Amino acid sequence: MNSDQIKEGVQRASHRALLKATGLTAGQIKKPIIGIVNSYSEIIPGHVHLQTIARAVKDGVLAAGGTPVEFNTIAICDGIAMNHEGMKYSLASRELIADTVECMVRAHCFDALVFIPNCDKIVPGMLMAAARLNLPSVFVSGGPMLSVPDTNGKYMDLNTVFEAVGSYSVGKISDAQLEYYEDNACPGCGSCAGMFTANSMNCLCEAVGIALPGNGTIPAVYAARTRLAKRTGETIMALLEKNIRALDILNEKAFQNALTVDMALGCSTNTVLHLAAIANEAGLKFSLPMINEISQKTPNLCKLAPAGAHHLQDLNAAGGVPAVMAELTKKGYLDTSVLTATGKTLEENLQGVQNHDKTVIRDIDAPYSATGGLAILYGSLAPSGAVVKRSAVAEDMLVHKGPARVFDSEDEAQAAILGGKIVSGDVVVIRYEGPAGGPGMREMLSPTSAIAGMGLDKSVALVTDGRFSGATRGAAIGHISPEAAGGGNIAYVREGDIISINIPEYRLDLLISDEELESRKKTTSLKPKKELGGYIGRYMRYVSSAEKGAIVK
């Protein structure tokens, strides 16, 4: 066993003494030592209950003959970090999570690992660590938050509150109504209820095969979530016995499956960043053109919030991710020969799976669209690519031309939006918010939600070298590469320039001549780089561009 390095032989007597000092018995030390990687904290609703999940996982490990040992890693709540300096640290924390897990596991020689994430960057950070360490590994998330109806019967989520701020700013709702949404939209523990980044990544853990069925959709407060955690604890012991390691599951075919499910579900644009980073750790090929290749042939089967009215509890009742995958296999969109965390192939896992609600998961022959939920755009404004959640864009905005309203930070743009300075037809440009320019590539949920709350989401577009929350809806195009701080063409856009968006043709263009663009590059100074210390300063100096997953070199 890997743990023999800290417990076998005379020379390890001192190591055993330290293990016994934690309360472990000699018998427990002799068993396989299973690391329980928990991201519990008291400040994130998606993580506040993870002690319960960890206890259930440990019960499963104990029942199957292992010795569970829990340790923690950091977790940032994107919602709380939103729209201030804290958001610079969200994406950057992904690399820290992977690094801290590596340090703990290498130093203490665990035999296998159960990962307990839930929110946005924690899932990919842990997946990166799993690929890097290549031990027997399995994931179980804390599950999604419930969505509950408001007084009009419309189901709410966190995005409801963000959009209510925009509605309030133009006098559409009162103080009392805003407070109502604040008090009721997030009813308890769990990751935010729509197909936002956290739930996207937890569903993709199922799709790639490293989590058990139900991981992405069983609500946090259901007893089924606790039972899933216990089964996961038992499962890791079976994977260890069979020596099935992370990279036996995280292979090229599995990533193709995950991307296909991503397109069918209509997942967050952030999945592009994260899958690229995980593939890098796993030594797999990944490029933005792959997204379009898969999207062009994969039907979009679900419109979950923010793209539609359904939430994760509805997807769960319809059969969850397995039901989506079962629909996709009807036309051969998935490779069902891949090995999964169950120890079985995907084909075996999907035996008998049914779609229980075709209003939530469309039949493969009656999709919302013939193409997937995400699209990569190219053109003179994004020579190396940009990403949009096509399934959340209104039909009227799939093709759009409008004057640029240019801002060098999210804060400037938000002030202009709430100040009523943005009008129908505008294209809001937010730059110097990329991986290095921000630094940290802040999410833009506040401006996009304000635009939607004001009723402008069907007439105003927003483009940025930053990124968007999975809760964002509308013509919101992010990850523009190269970014402004790196001399990308977005740095040379001027107020009033016409920007052309053509999502069906995968185009994003700045409508000025090549000569004018070259002239601007010679006469326009880039915004000076920030002088920052600490971790964020180091991150700024070594982070790659968005099209490479914003990985740290």
Q: Domain with 62 in it: what CATH number?
A: 3.40.50.2300
State whether residue 313 is helix, strand or coil.
helix
Q: State residue 553's pLDDT score.
A: 86
Q: Are 381 and 333 members of one domain?
A: no
> Which amino acid belongs to residue 472?
T
pLDDT band at 63 (very low <50, low <70, confident <90, very high): very high
pLDDT above 70: percentage of residues in the chain? 100
Please state the residue numbers annotated as binding site.
78, 120-121, 443
- 65, 235 Cβ separation under 8 angstroms: no
17 pLDDT higher than 90: yes
What pLDDT, in 10s, does the model give residues 488-499? 999 999 999 999
- What is the average pLDDT across 239-268? 97
Residues placed in the known binding site for Mg(2+): 78, 120-121, 443
In-domain check, residue 24: no
The one catalytic residue among 469, 519, 544, 545:
469
Indicate if 133 and 276 belong to the same structural domain: yes
What local confidence, expressed as pLDDT, does residue 529 receive? 86
Same-domain check for residues 341 and 402: no
pLDDT digits (tens, 9 = 90+) for 427-470: 999 999 999 999 999 999 899 999 999 999 999 999 999 999 88
Q: How many other C-beta atoms are found inside a 10 Å radius of the C-beta of residue 539?
A: 24
pTM over 0.85: yes
368 domain-assigned: no
Tell me: do 279 and 308 sit in the same domain.
yes
In a domain, 13, yes or no: no
Within this chain, do residues 251 and 396 fall inside the same structural domain, yes or no? no
Amino acid at 132: R
On the question of pLDDT at 471 being above 90, the answer is no
Angle between helices 122-133 and 197-208 (to 10 degrees): 30
Same-domain check for residues 197 and 185: no
pLDDT tens per residue, range 148-199: 999 999 999 999 999 999 999 889 999 999 999 999 999 999 999 999 999 9
Kindly state the DSSP code that residue 408 receives in the 8-state scheme.
S
Is residue 438 in some structural domain?
yes
- pLDDT score of 56: 98
Find the mean pLDDT for residues 401-421: 96
Task: Assign 233 a pLDDT band (cuts: 50, 70, 90).
Answer: very high
Residues 92 and 128 in one domain: yes
% the chain with pLDDT above 90: 97
Are residue 271 and residue 402 in the same domain, yes or no? no
Domain that holds residue 470: 377-548
Asked if residue 355 is part of any domain, the answer here is no
The pLDDT tens digits of the residues spanning 108-154 come to: 999 999 999 999 999 999 999 999 999 999 999 999 999 999 999 99
User: What is the C-alpha to C-alpha distance for residues 427 and 519, in angstroms, rounded to an integer?
Assistant: 23
Question: Could you give the CA distance from residue 139 to residue 235 in angstroms, rounded to a whole number?
Answer: 10
Q: What is the pLDDT of residue 264?
A: 98
Residue 361 lies in a domain: no
Per-residue pLDDT at 548: 94
pLDDT at 472 (0 to 100): 87
Residues 125 and 90 in one domain: yes
In the residue annotation, 446 being an active-site residue is answered as no
Strands (E), 135-285: 137-139
Q: Is residue 476 part of a domain?
A: yes
Residues 337 and 415 in one domain: no
Number of domains in the chain: 3
Same domain, 513 and 423: yes
